[in-house]
Structure 1
Amino acid sequence: MTSRAGTPAQSSDLIDVEALIDAYWHRHPDVSDPEQKVVFGTSGHRGSSLKTAFNDDHIAAITQAIVEYRAEQGTTGPLFIGRDTHALSAPAQSTALEVLVANGVDVLVDEFDGYTPTPAVSHAIIRYNREHPGQPQADGIVVTPSHNPPADGGFKYNPPHGGPADSDATNWIAERANALIAGGLQDVQRAEATAVGTYDFRTRYVEDLGSIIDMQAIKDSGIRIGADPLGGASVSYWQAIAEAYGLDLTVVNPEVDPQWGFMTLDWDEKIRMDPSSPSAMASVVARAGDYDILTGNDADADRHGIVTPDAGLMNPNHYLAVAIQYLFTHRPGWSEDAAVGKTLVSSSMIDRVAESIGRTLVEVPVGFKWFVPGLIDGSVAFGGEESAGASFLKQDGTSWTTDKDGILLCLLASEIRAVTGRSPSELYRELTERFGDPAYARVDAAATKAQKAALGKLDGDAVAATELAGEPIVAKLSKAPGNGAAIGGVKVVSEDAWFAARPSGTEDVYKIYAESFKGPDDLKAVQAEAKRIVDAALG
């Protein structure tokens, strides 16, 4: 059967929004069932109401747990809350507001009752705390499952540093929330959400963009920019940016549809708003020739997709390498000691770029939360991950966001085009001429739950192999070099190749990320050997 990936969604692919919202209010989870418990992944609790994994009970309990956690931490300032365009986001925000108001939290929602990108919430937290030193600190909640399919909901907490909460916080919140649900929600306070303040997220975010992006250069260049929000929370932001800075910028598709019926199907024939996926971005890529730079964002705008006329959709690793090369040579206000941050499954091209510009590389486990300390104190000027998420410092070297900012990275592509006269994809080809042209891919391998658990705790020393695709192994890592944190898997490195293996959090597989600077054939050899090495280590 021919795959429908990259083809327009059909009516049979669309969710029943009414049924989804009805399930949110009327289904009640059994937290003795692991599938119905509150579980925080790298970006909050996610699930579908139709699977009794994201319902009113969950959000009431999580919000009450956040209230108790922030009180324990001494966080007594305002709480900024924003939501994206998923169908479950509005009811979840409604639930959260009832709990926050009942608990006396000073909560601020969007002034226009609109959609709020994740980076706008992070930016608001950081800006407030910077402008109110010595006063009670602000924090935030973002109601979003990011790029997940339309039937999903998501809910994440950002402490006063503005970025994703760390594992200590999320484990505490999840454990308390599950206890509250198991107790029949008796300790959850709720009240009509009438005493709610407002905040103009959009204006404050847009007006500050000039402090981090050379907006004048973009305007002066006259380049044609297309921005596709993919039906997400950035929709009104792009129009506001165009108007505020006088850019030749077109919002390619301003439609907001909780069914996302205008999307093309992702690789697995599901609707998924992933701007780094060639299948999900097929309709956007088809218009590549209409603009000098064409971009996409996911539903909460924390991810970016960069489309150029000469190359179509850029691989996220390629764009990160170009962004780092450009920024560290065009930001004189940054400290000479500020480092480059990357997740350990991102391309080694970044390592070679960082070395060439004389910058320290900070390699951390998967998850943007690991970049937060460095982005806050300025010791890391850029943090990026292979899944098309990144942020960086303002031109004066201070923090902008400590969460991923897809709008920012899209605008950076336009700055790069305006300042250099070349597209990011052209600049990446120049990097390959200097450093080699790596082949990179991620594949899945079957694994039992026991094997996944073992892989998550695997020590690098348990890897018996001494060679990887014919090259001597130079490192066997179970902890990230940049901060010593556990990888939750293993990474094996040779001079010209590497692989990393991590268990999936949702499926009975483990993920193999691999890269080779010797080309696609060597990459296949690395992938095959990676599976043998991991299987042998797992017994």
Structure 2
Amino acid sequence: MHERAGTVALPADLIDSAEVVGAYYDIEPDPSDVNQRVSFGTSGHRGSSLDGRFNEAHIVAITAAIVEYRASQGVDGPLFIGRDTHALSEPAWRTALEVLAAAGVDTRIDSRGSYTPTPAVSVAILGANGAPGALRTCGPGLADGIVVTPSHNPPRDGGFKYNPPHGGPADADATGWIADRANEILAEGWRKVPRIIGSGLLDDEHIVPFDYTTFYVDQLDTVIDIDAIRSAGVRIGADPLGGASVDYWAAIAERYGLDLTVVNPVVDPSWPFMTLDWDGKIRMDCSSPYAMASLRQAMTPDENGDTPYDIATGNDADSDRHGIVTPDGLMNPNHYLAVAIEYLFTHRPGWSSEAAVGKTLVSSALIDRVVDSLGRRLIEVPVGFKHFVPGLLDGSVGFGGEESAGASFLRRDGTVWSTDKDGIILALLASEILAVTGKTPSQLHDEQVERFGASAYARIDAPANREEKARLAALSPEDVAATDLAGDPIVATLVRAPGNGEAIGGLKVATEHAWFAARPSGTEDVYKIYGESFKGPEHLAEVQEAAKRLVSDALG
């Protein structure tokens, strides 16, 4: 824990935005260096220009690869492109447009020339492709999209992700092909890629303005009971954390007449107003109590027990994550997911009685207990929101959520809304819950604890070199010799997710009262241990230590 975690950033903590952007153009990556090649993780290619990991060459190559990929898949309609507020997002966005325009791709950019949240791009793609319940956006052809964002990563980073026609994150087959082809282009000579460069780029016939804001905001009442929020007079404080949702929250307040205040409308790519995260870095993680310290402080009750807002919310830079603050404080993401699931599945009569609940296998087992009480089917999948896309698309999954404060759910009539994470609707849902039930999500969580028990949940890291991480990702259940975990009999040893049979990329071990999951880090020489115990924090610590021993033994 950094000694200044939760305190406002100092000048020495800030990036030099001009230096970061300059490095984007000046540094050319070495295609023979594995650390400087294109690599898609669970949320696209990410890195810093200063390290030669997110530079002009990368974006030219990736965009050229996407042009080839979409053509090979018969994607012949518009490409919707959005960007967040990171310093590298605008130059990368422009580079992508140069390649797309030269390739003759009908590209839809924000009509305001501004920022576009990830969920707004997803909703636009689905609208273009005629998804059930969605407004139609444009003419013929199959649409897809790009979002230029590293999500909640520090200000020095950039990110670039591809959303195919289903509107959600691309699967491993697509990203693997795109990354391999992009690396070939880097090696062959990325400067050979045709581009339209110059001041006339945005006037090119293939670059078409699109009003993402209005298209997204005008449909929100098909997802959220906004009438209930307005009628109850819920006082909302929405903090964009300097991200892409800043103008969306103002538009939502105006369009629907809500008592909603944009807590901090400032956008600055160095994020000087942020409080430092646990490790001393600026990180727009709206689920972190340290990154959310300012909003938490603003919600501290005064001497009369009053707070300026009934519900306060935060979003990360591309608005695909949510943070919920009540007068009781910042909610743990797992706790809010459990509350949201119970509320939605008891207040959405338009949803199919067969609609299931999706969760990642490292999310809280509290969700399992809630879902069981609802008589619904639980679909447990590996880490990565892409696993929820098919179910959200056809309405067979009503809600899909991750422990890292990312989720989405169906429209009120049971049709698809977004197939990517949507932090805006999860934030608005907290106000709907209060308006309809008269209780905050944190109060409802307390009631869940009384019924299902309290759990201790945490994630820690343990050292592992590249070879050890590879062996961890390839483990089989037979590699685990242990029969108990922290004093309880092991009831399940998993290397594939029970919900869809996909590889976990690690190991999950469960008992009746606790579980842990171990997954290798894609960027550091560590593996991550997620753990939870319904026997309390002391037992969780025992589970974590037992997990290290068990994994060490399994790796040999």
TM-score (norm 1): 0.99
439, 442, 450: which one aligns with 1:433 = 450
**Contact map agreement 2:2 2:280 (CA 8 A) in 1:** no
Distance (whole Å) between structure 2 residues aligned to residue 142 and residue 76 of structure 1: 18
Match of residue 442 from structure 1: 459
Distance (whole Å) between structure 1 residues aligned to residue 127 and residue 369 of structure 2: 34
Q: Which residues of 2 match residues 156-235 of structure 1 at below 5 A? A: 156-185=161-190, 187-192=192-197, 193=201, 194-195=204-205, 196-235=207-246
Q: Kindly state the Cα deviation for residue 219 of structure 1 after the two structures are TM-superposed.
A: 0.1
Match of residue 258 from structure 1: 269
Identity %: 68
> Is 2:302 the partner of 1:291?
no
**Contact map agreement 1:149 1:270 (CA 8 A) in 2:** yes
**Contact map agreement 2:124 2:137 (CA 8 A) in 1:** no
Q: Kindly state the Cα deviation for residue 461 of structure 1 after the two structures are TM-superposed.
A: 2.0
Q: Kindly state the Cα deviation for residue 134 of structure 1 after the two structures are TM-superposed.
A: 10
Q: Kindly state the Cα deviation for residue 186 of structure 1 after the two structures are TM-superposed.
A: 5.2
Distance (whole Å) between structure 2 residues aligned to residue 32 and residue 323 of structure 1: 47
SS in 2 for 1:295: strand
Match of residue 256 from structure 2: 245
Match of residue 14 from structure 1: 14
497, 500, 504: which one aligns with 1:480 = 497
Distance (whole Å) between structure 1 residues aligned to residue 499 and residue 477 of structure 2: 16
SS in 2 for 1:299: coil
Match of residue 99 from structure 1: 99
444, 447, 458: which one aligns with 2:475 = 458
SS in 1 for 2:393: helix
Match of residue 555 from structure 2: 538
Distance (whole Å) between structure 2 residues aligned to residue 87 and residue 443 of structure 1: 30
Distance (whole Å) between structure 2 residues aligned to residue 327 and residue 476 of structure 1: 31
Cα deviations by residue, 1:14-43 (Å, 9 ceiling, x for unpaired): 001111111111111101111110000001
SS in 1 for 2:109: strand
SS in 1 for 2:189: coil
Give unmatched runs, 5+ long, in structure 2.
131-135, 300-306
Distance (whole Å) between structure 2 residues aligned to residue 76 and residue 128 of structure 1: 12
Match of residue 529 from structure 2: 512
Distance (whole Å) between structure 2 residues aligned to residue 448 and residue 151 of structure 1: 26
Distance 1:134 1:24, change over 3 A: closer
Aligned residue identity for 1:94: R
Distance (whole Å) between structure 2 residues aligned to residue 299 and residue 127 of structure 1: 24
Distance 1:473 1:55, change over 3 A: same
**Contact map agreement 1:180 1:186 (CA 8 A) in 2:** no
335, 339, 361: which one aligns with 2:356 = 339
Cα deviations by residue, 1:466-505 (Å, 9 ceiling, x for unpaired): 0111111110000000000000000001001000000011
Q: Which residues of 2 match residues 292-331 of structure 1 at below 5 A? A: 292-309=310-327, 311-331=328-348
145, 152, 158: which one aligns with 1:147 = 152
> Is 2:401 the partner of 1:384?
yes
Match of residue 110 from structure 1: 110
**Contact map agreement 2:2 2:278 (CA 8 A) in 1:** no
Aligned residue identity for 2:103: N
Distance (whole Å) between structure 1 residues aligned to residue 264 and residue 256 of structure 2: 20
Match of residue 133 from structure 2: none
Cα deviations by residue, 1:335-390 (Å, 9 ceiling, x for unpaired): 00010000000000000000000100000000000000100011111000000000
Q: Which moved more, 1:482-491 or 1:2-11?
A: 2-11
Distance (whole Å) between structure 1 residues aligned to residue 430 and residue 36 of structure 2: 41
Aligned residue identity for 1:91: P
Match of residue 33 from structure 1: 33
Q: Kindly state the Cα deviation for residue 135 of structure 1 after the two structures are TM-superposed.
A: 3.9
**Contact map agreement 1:460 1:491 (CA 8 A) in 2:** no
**Contact map agreement 2:239 2:313 (CA 8 A) in 1:** yes
Aligned residue identity for 2:228: A
Match of residue 137 from structure 1: 142
Match of residue 50 from structure 1: 50
Cα deviations by residue, 1:263-292 (Å, 9 ceiling, x for unpaired): 000000000000000000001100113210
Q: Kindly state the Cα deviation for residue 460 of structure 1 after the two structures are TM-superposed.
A: 1.9
Distance 1:212 1:7, change over 3 A: same
Distance 1:133 1:249, change over 3 A: closer
**Contact map agreement 2:275 2:291 (CA 8 A) in 1:** yes
Distance (whole Å) between structure 2 residues aligned to residue 359 and residue 188 of structure 1: 51
Q: Kindly state the Cα deviation for residue 2 of structure 1 after the two structures are TM-superposed.
A: 6.7
Aligned residue identity for 1:183: E
Aligned residue identity for 1:426: Q
Distance (whole Å) between structure 2 residues aligned to residue 461 and residue 443 of structure 1: 25
Aligned residue identity for 1:417: L
Q: Kindly state the Cα deviation for residue 187 of structure 1 after the two structures are TM-superposed.
A: 4.7
Distance (whole Å) between structure 2 residues aligned to residue 152 and residue 515 of structure 1: 31
**Contact map agreement 2:2 2:279 (CA 8 A) in 1:** no
Aligned residue identity for 1:429: D
**Contact map agreement 1:118 1:142 (CA 8 A) in 2:** yes
Aligned residue identity for 1:120: A
Distance (whole Å) between structure 1 residues aligned to residue 174 and residue 161 of structure 2: 11
365, 385, 390: which one aligns with 1:348 = 365
Q: How many aligned positions are there?
A: 538
TM-score (norm 2): 0.96
**Contact map agreement 1:234 1:297 (CA 8 A) in 2:** yes
Give unmatched runs, 5+ long, in structure 1.
none
Cα deviations by residue, 1:400-454 (Å, 9 ceiling, x for unpaired): 0000000010000000011000000000000000000011000001111111110
